[in-house]
Structure 1
């Protein structure tokens, strides 16, 4: 079952050195087998199926057009698709032609979304953009406006005639050829493309197969976005590698009704399905006995949980709620990975109950691991398993680059065949991140610096303790603190430019955003703390769609920086946790974390509906008045989508979720929405079960982009 590298053999006895050849063999060996099954709107009665033969024919038809546009081996092709089979067809077409696929999230309404897409196209030197439907023409129009010098090909795959048995030869590939570029999410100014070779990709497919214990009988269900590594590599490509069916829905369908995910697992008797931690928390919070009646999760063997910190409270809540529906505690599978390692790094060797480790909180913040069973003084870490296969992990001092041998916390370094080739066009960043060396060990052996800090126990199981790199992960989405810091310093004239630090802390089992910001010396006697703090929280909510947990205004020149003037975010975080900041003012959110109907859609009607939703659905007890901010009562971006759906049913009119970010103050939101309703007649009252129909009336591309970018 396992080879000398500790990895499982490719199912079906196939032999290949790249995933393209495996997919092509699957299409020849099992042409009538179902390859893709997309659930439109997440509904089980609206399935779009592609057999392996149909996938092969569609991919070769796209390849034919790519070649007619003079796109050949090594050329970059940007993929801008909504969720659906067309994306997978286009991705396989790039494999077939040896082109380098570049999956990117569809832009939403924000200008930053478009600038990020244009920045990626410019950075990788794309020769073509593949899309479908109305998106293709919208993208072409926007490029003509903002990037007219680009002379690549715009291809709408919906306009390509599908040819069966097209006499087209696919391109021969070498293991070191690039398969695709996975651009890291979160930054709009300078996105970095991780270069994944065909050898990297195939190795990690085998790591995934081994780690998840997948085989030819595996049954997949997913809602994860396909432009993200977890959905693309861990679900879609893993299914094709195994030769099984990929059953999936759009992220928007899950966010609208999280139980659609669990119903699909039941219906298809799925064995492998997973998501970031927040999705499990969302399903636990939205549980109702009536809605879950008849759901059977006993087939679920691997409920993988990764991409953001795994919370012990979430594991407990999800199991407690769904154990009566057949969920096994051994199915919960915390794991660890990153795009620079293609995807998967570690996971438990056997399906077992999640392994927890209670350590002293005070020592933990000092980087020391000390066992502590006292709930008053301890924090709990969740093990994410041991390294899978022939990969190697090391815990290294990030300053001295010496291997930690005393069990202390250090930076996680990775060595193995899944480690990607580097960052596209960024030689110095590649050298620093992908070619690190451990002091005192052979220099020819290089390591990937993950930027994450961790600890290995006596059984060589990994615990993630934090992030040395400054990336903040909220609801599975990455945010770069410098982007948020720029928003903060520009929101109020009394704030000193370059005088801020943004970081996250864990509170009540969730990652929370903290802003530490210097006040300009010239405004010390005149600034109003309440006004400034409110401006910061409002600006971050509007521009970044994030809730700020704490704002600390500090004295000029007291922000901790290096001698060269770089902000030391981790040192400022340490000062914050130890109450060592030079505070001028502070505002700590008092909100908690995560169907009464009135007669008319007036401001009062809308306010009452919001109050009822927040109390009954989110269990938030904070007082809500017209002067309150949505961010102050603790609403996350996922909660906002649910609230928009709820209000749509309560007033029998479409509520655009972007309205919440345009009007972050609740009273102004109610006023804007009531004005937007205009002369509409008094609404008929609907039950919560029918609310989804209203929000689905939003133009499909807008709604999908709005929701799916939350998961990027």
Structure 2
């Protein structure tokens, strides 16, 4: 039961704030433990269950570190941790840092289609990271042990690991160039790739993050983001330690069931709130509230200072819907803070200066795809969101296919360089060489720069090229989403090779309709919509709900959807002739 007498950790305390100016993350933990601030874990309704001051977290971490040493875990060993939002993971992650081992946060089963799918995915990540041990919450014992057994990896619940002896022992000194942790990414190259992040890179990005957000007195973070994804792990856990900020947490699966509990928690914060979400989080809340009235009576979002937005393509229409839904509760459109980043750069590359809100530019589709303007039909435009300015010491450059730098408003590949660019992909020199060139990181994203701001237009590897013309899958997917009954993430667009050797666009769509005639009508309606966007016929396949695969961070995986479709693992719904 939730104890009404529990007191959350404070927003402010006498300890002077240091903006991540530490040599190692070990020092950051030690300093944060001198404050009264900390992490606060809430139940499904957003009511506090467990305040966890940084002082207590450090104490638990040091005990756990001694257990790790006694278990033979040392410098550069990997420790796979199932990243459940709670005190156990927080203490275990910090324990690894104290020991010099590399924590490897791995996902919970909630983001995968089923039990076997999760076991297979976890086993692949264990094979890649080659950990000394997998530590997991006992609720998923069967699946965790099955995945570990596939790799011959020792495994133990954290409840059992906490029963081990913790004899006194010395702990190693960390160096700024040591690897701090491995972050699994669905980013620049083939999956899975473990991004190796040094202490220096982590702390520099956290400094830039705090500086860009102008982190100050009275600020507090509220988060439901998972800790196995960089936005949740770095932005809403490690950053808070390194910058001494208190945070209120809602578990990701609790947010999925009761998304408005997130806004309830923000409403109760008496300080200034920083809270982040991918586009779909704002979308869910705006949809959920649309059937309710008395928004201003339930919520007070007037102190929401930074409403961060990142991790996927930012959609201005969704952001506007959120403003429309919650303006009467005091939410200000200027609070929106778009950003761009990726795990290969720790977290953030660019951040919109606070208070500037969502700014868009309308760009002709032909410019986005690099094709010739068709003068026989009216120009079509896509709204491209301004993702802000580079963090301190981060350089961003737009390059053409030949590697030449491009000027303002010229679309090309996004490259970045700075102290927080990753060390390497773990045990994957080929993938590292593919994306790291002379200190510059090829992000795999396409965009352009204008007046020092970065605009992202899509993923280079997702581009659909038909008859020499480029099409962004997002354009096709967004077009289908405009039809009634579809949500963000219901559609995957990609190209496939036909028997005659030519490429054709294919669209997989979640179907919630059971009537056979209605399904045929829906398929034809989708085909017409895609034809209006691409100017050509496409293959439309209706698939059961929750069929389309996602990355560990919850993003649609077009590449995996294509692979599963071509292999027959995704079976389309058979339509009447």
Instruction: Please give the TM-score of this superposition, normalised by the length of structure 2.
Output: 0.77
**Structure 2 unmatched ranges of 5 or more:** 1-15, 465-470, 482-487, 501-505, 514-518, 551-568
Which residue of 422, 426, 429 maps to 1:427?
429
Question: Any conservation in 2 of the 1:367–1:408 contact (CA below 8 Å)?
Answer: no
Task: Give 2:148's aligned residue.
Answer: 143
The equivalent position to 1:121 in structure 2, one of 120, 126, 135, is 126
Q: 2 CA distance for matches of 1:266 and 1:380?
A: 31
Task: Report how far residue 159 of structure 1 moved.
Answer: 5.1
1:579 is the counterpart of 2:535: yes
Question: Does the aligned pair in 2 maintain the 1:391–1:416 contact within 8 Å?
Answer: yes
Alignment of 1:344 with 2:348, yes or no, is yes
Cα distance, 1:157 vs. partner?
A: 3.7
Matches of 1:550 and 1:171, distance apart in 2: 62
Q: What is the Cα deviation at residue 180 of structure 1?
A: 0.8
State the 1:103 CA deviation: 0.4
The residue number in structure 2 matching 1:448 is 441
Q: Matches of 1:190 and 1:350 in 2, distance apart?
A: 34
Structure 2 counterpart SS, 1:513: strand
The answer to whether the Cα contact below 8 Å between 1:217 and 1:244 also exists between their aligned partners in 2 is: no
> What stretches of structure 1 of length at least 5 have no aligned partner?
1-9, 436-444, 473-500, 522-532, 542-546, 553-573, 590-628, 638-660, 668-712
Matched, 1:365 2:369: yes
Counterparts of 1:466-615 in structure 2, within 5 Å, are 466-470=458-462, 503-506=473-476, 507-508=478-479, 512-518=491-497, 520=499, 578-579=534-535, 586-587=539-540
Does 2:246 correspond to 1:241? Answer: no
- Looking at structure 2, the residues matched to 73 and 431 of structure 1 have their Cα atoms a distance apart, in angstroms, of 25
Structure 2 residue aligned with 1:387: 390
The SS at the match of 2:228 is coil
| CA positional deviation for 1:63 | 1.1
RMSD, matched Cα: 4.0
Maintained 8 Å contact 1:175/1:197: yes
1:99-498 equivalences in 2 (<5 Å): 99-107=101-109, 109-136=114-141, 138-144=143-149, 146-147=150-151, 149-150=152-153, 152=154, 154-157=156-159, 160-161=162-163, 169-185=170-186, 190-269=191-270, 270-287=272-289, 288-290=292-294, 293-366=297-370, 377-397=380-400, 399-405=401-407, 407-435=409-437, 445-457=438-450, 459-470=451-462
More strand by share: 2
CA distance in 1, matches of 2:88, 2:147: 22
Q: Structure 2 CA distance, aligned partners of 1:168 and 1:367? A: 65
CA gap of 1:226–1:538, structure 2 versus 1, over 3 A, is closer
Paired with 1:502 and 1:92, the residues of 2 have a C-alpha distance of 41
Larger CA Rg, structure 1 vs 2: 1
- How far is 1:393 from its partner? 0.3
| Residue 328 (structure 1) shift | 1.3
The structure with higher relative contact order (CA 8 Å, sep 6+) is: 2
The Cα offsets for residues 350-403 of structure 1, whole Å up to 9 and x where unpaired, read as 42232221223333332799xxxx997432211011111111000000x20111
1:74 counterpart residue number = 76
CA 175–223 in structure 1, closer or farther in 2 if over 3 Å, else same: same
Residues 1:72 and 1:368: Cα distance change in structure 2 (over 3 Å):
farther
Give the TM-score normalised by the residue count of structure 1: 0.64
C-alpha separation in 1, matches of 2:200 and 2:50 = 32
Distance 1:446 1:575 in 2: 43
Q: 1-side partners of 2:571 and 2:296: how far apart? A: 35
Q: Is the 8 A contact 1:502 1:513 kept in 2?
A: no
How many residues get paired?
A: 503
- C-alpha separation between the residues in 2 aligned to 1:380 and 1:312? 7
> What SS does the aligned partner of 1:310 have?
coil
